Amino acid sequence: MAQPAVLDTQPYLKYLLHASVKDTPTEDIAYGVICEFLLQHKNPSDRFIIFPQIFLRWKPNNPEDTRAEIPDFGWGNFSLHTLHIKLRLGIEVKRCVNAMEALPDSSALQSNVDIMSAFHEVFFQGEDQAKAAMKGHHFSETETAPWLLFIGPYWTPVQYGPFSPAQLTTRTHKPSDSADFMATLIAERKLASTPVACPLYLLGTAESAMQLEQFIASTDFAAQHLRDAAAGY
């Protein structure tokens, strides 16, 4: 049996971590726990805003098309001059799996078939969300979209894009008749491919805190002008 991870955080947060995996709770439990850990990095207080359940239109230039992608969280800042929400990254969350209940070290789970499959599926869901965000110009002057994928309290970072015009027509989880044919075939093959291991981090560990801070810091510069505008308002 895998050894429990060494948690390096406040007792309150350790308590929440165990709550997020005990008896495989529903996703809403994971949402609250993840937010508490993300807020540990909200220093200074104007560094970012967490936007729950952002409605990202699939065809933002066609008001009659009601299709949308809805990440569990967006992470960004406000803008009064363009779109109100400028994203720095997106977050997609799924409930934990049974193998996570004892909070084993993340290295022990990277090759677990169930966990690899869970992250494989959520990867493509996040990719569809990133495409919608890019088409809606929610990212500032970038061709890539950083995302955090969570299964319970375990997470991995990904970068989506850049996307070709054909790829931007294609949703892997929700196929469309109007999507590019070849791009659709390629997406279907990727979805059907064998899941592979990805680097995992567990909230509450020193490694997770360091990696999460580095990931957030990499998006700070792009949002500085928005923070400056708010500070001088």
The model's pLDDT over 96-141, given as tens digits with 9 standing for 90+, comes to 999 999 999 999 999 898 899 999 999 999 999 999 999 999 987 6
Q: How far apart are CA 57 and CA 54, in angstroms?
A: 10
Report yes or no on 6 lying in a domain. Answer: no
pTM score, whole prediction = 0.92
Residue with tokens 């540990």: 40
Q: How far apart are CA 134 and CA 3, in angstroms?
A: 41
DSSP type of residue 64:
T
pLDDT tens, position by position, 1-53: 578 899 999 999 999 999 999 998 989 999 999 999 999 999 999 999 999 99
Q: Which amino acid is at 173?
A: H
Task: Name every residue whose Cβ is closer than 8 Å to that of residue 84 and which is 6 or more positions away in sequence.
Answer: 78
Q: Is 142 in contact with 134 (CB distance < 8 Å)?
A: no
Beta strands in 133-213 (DSSP E): 145-151, 154-160, 201-202
Under DSSP, is residue 12 helix (H, G, I), strand (E, B) or coil? helix
Q: What is the mean pLDDT of residues 44-67?
A: 93
Report yes or no on 43 lying in a domain. Answer: no
Upper half-sphere CA count for residue 196 (Cβ side, 13 Å): 5
CB-CB neighbours of 34 under 10 Å: 24
CA 50 to chain centre: 12
Residue with tokens 């890539």: 144
Query: 231 — phi, psi (to 5°)?
Result: -65, -30
Please state the domain count of the chain.
1
Report yes or no on 63 lying in a domain. Answer: yes
In 3D, which of 52, 225, 56 has the Cα closest to residue 137? 56
Report yes or no on 41 lying in a domain. Answer: no
CB-CB neighbours of 146 under 10 Å: 21
- Using 50, 70 and 90 to split pLDDT, how confident is the model at 205? very high
Position 169 scores a pLDDT of: 87
Report yes or no on 3 lying in a domain. Answer: no
In terms of residue numbers, what domain contains 25? 11-36+49-231
Report yes or no on 42 lying in a domain. Answer: no
Query: 91 — phi, psi (to 5°)?
Result: -140, 130
Report yes or no on 1 lying in a domain. Answer: no
162-140-120-148 Cα dihedral, nearest 10 degrees: 150
Give the C-alpha distances (Å, rounded to integers) separating 62 from 30, 54, 103, 198: 34, 18, 45, 37
- Using 50, 70 and 90 to split pLDDT, how confident is the model at 182? low
Q: Is 97 in contact with 116 (CB distance < 8 Å)?
A: no
Report yes or no on 140 lying in a domain. Answer: yes
